[in-house]
Structure 1
Amino acid sequence: MIEGMQNFEWATADDVPVRELFPGIRLRTLWSGEVASAHVLEMDPGSRWEGIDVHQPGPEEVCVVSGVFNDGIRDYPAGSFIHAPAGSSHVPQSVDGCTLFLFYPEG
């Protein structure tokens, strides 16, 4: 074993609890540190965030794993990376459904 590997933390999306945020929108927390956290967000076809998602207290980093994500203005196909700075906002939605990897470096 490589020195330091024993300190790794890991999870698979299928093995962590799922929380339904809104109808058709589910969040799975993969890891949560003192401040930062990492998640998988699954959006069913036709799902839409209720209200406006405001990024506070810090930024949101998004990688579209599959499907097409829409932030209320434009579409982002699989493989897209989005940096949403602190204080920015959007209305997450997906016509065809999508899976996102979310990282919050500052909470």
Structure 2
Amino acid sequence: MTTDQNMPGYEWSTVQDAPVRELFPGIRLRPLWLGGNGAKAHVLEMDPNTCWQGIDVHEPGPEEVFVVSGVFNDGDRDYPAGSFIHAPAGSSHIPQTMTGCTLFVFYPEG
């Protein structure tokens, strides 16, 4: 993450420069930004035929997802590229994909 000296408060990063952490086999997290109040932004990459291990519970706040590419499934339905999903605090799902997908994931409250 880089701070722009000419624009106070501006920070930027690139997906290819973000460190990669494998959460589960074939599921990788790339942190892009962390706010002072715990808010955070990530890119989540899921290879074809992968599934989150266990249930993903949204705590302490909501989770907001934009499907950048592929088709994401939350355990109930498919969301193609271009879909936006708001999952309120306390909700849960089991992220999975048959095709593979890339997601932008934002946690406004951490």
Instruction: Give your verdict on TM over 0.5.
Output: yes
Question: Which interval holds the TM-score relative to the shorter structure?
Answer: over 0.9
Q: Secondary structure at the match of 2:70?
A: strand
**Deviation, structure 1 residue 5:** 2.1
Instruction: Work out which of the residue numbers 19, 24, 40 in structure 2 matches 1:22.
Output: 24
Partner of 2:3: none
Q: Distance in 2 between matches of 1:72 and 1:37?
A: 24
List per-residue Cα deviations over 1:51-78 (Å, max 9, x = no partner).
Answer: 0000000000000000000000000000
Q: How many residues align?
A: 104
Identical positions, percent: 76
Q: Distance in 1 between matches of 2:14 and 2:70?
A: 19
Q: Distance in 2 between matches of 1:105 and 1:7?
A: 17
Structure 2 gaps, min length 5: 1-5
**Which runs of 4 or more aligned residues in structure 1 lie more than 6 Å from their structure 2 counterparts after TM superposition?**
none
**Deviation, structure 1 residue 81:** 0.2
Q: Secondary structure at the match of 1:45?
A: coil
The alignment's TM-score, normalised by the length of structure 1, stands at 0.94
List per-residue Cα deviations over 1:54-107 (Å, max 9, x = no partner).
Answer: 000000000000000000000000000000000000000000100000000000
Instruction: Work out which of the residue numbers 61, 69, 73 in structure 1 matches 2:76.
Output: 73
Q: Distance in 2 between matches of 1:53 and 1:38?
A: 16
The alignment's TM-score, normalised by the length of structure 2, stands at 0.92
Structure 1 gaps, min length 5: none
**Deviation, structure 1 residue 33:** 1.1
